[in-house]
Amino acid sequence: MVTLQFVPYNEIEDLGSARRVKKLIDIVKENKIVLLQGRLKKEEETDLISIAMEEIGAKFKGIELAVINPEGKDKSGLKKMRNNFFGMLLGDRQGLTVIGPATIVKEIKKDPNKIELLTKEGKKKK
């Protein structure tokens, strides 16, 4: 059985970068797949990889990560600027970040507006 845990953005918005990343990693280490509303900052994404590496051990083998960003190429400059501005103030709530434990999630494929999550058991979920 696979457990998905939805994390709304407001659950992490008041946390500092280190605590945000730790909160997400802690959920993943419980063998749950995190569905985070929005996305982390770019620097936090690399922190997430670094922390995942530090945590690797007998039971935890790392993570699978995917971000779906709804920003299409057709978005006008003004819209992009507005989104960047609000993103800077309020955090990037657009899109969806999927983080799963590598022991359960074999691969995450983006296509680009849907996510295919291939689990180790070979089941396919959408």
Partner 1 sequence: MINIVRSFINKVLRGIFKKKKNFKLGLYGPPNGGKTTLANRICKDWLGQDMGTVSNIAHETREVQIKEEISIKSKGKELTFNLVDTPGIATKIDFEDFIKSGMKEKQAKERAKEATKGVIDAIKWLDEMDAVVIVLDATKDPYTQVNVTIVGNLQARNIPVLIVANKSDLKKADIKKVQAAYPQYNVIGISAKYGNNIDQFYEGLFAIAG
- Give the torsion through C-alpha atoms of 46, 42, 97, 116, to 10 deg: -70
Closer residue to partner 1 (CB): 5 or 69: 69
Q: How far is the CB of 68 from partner 1 (least distance, A)?
A: 10
**Contacts with partner 1 in 10-39 (CB under 8 A)?**
none
Cα–Cα distance, 15 to 42 (Å, whole number): 16
| 54 is an interface residue for partner 1 by CB under 8 A | yes
| 64 is an interface residue for partner 1 by CB under 8 A | yes
How many CA atoms lie within 13 Å of 10's alpha carbon, on the beta-carbon side?
0
How many CA atoms lie within 13 Å of 73's alpha carbon, on the beta-carbon side?
1
User: Position 56: which residue type?
Assistant: I
Closer residue to partner 1 (CB): 14 or 54: 54
112, 123, 124, 125: which one contacts partner 1 (CB under 8 A)?
Answer: 112
Q: Decide if 3 contacts 33 (C-beta within 8 A).
A: yes
**Footprint of partner 1 (CB under 8 A):** 41-43, 45-46, 49-50, 52-54, 56, 61-67, 88, 102, 108-110, 112
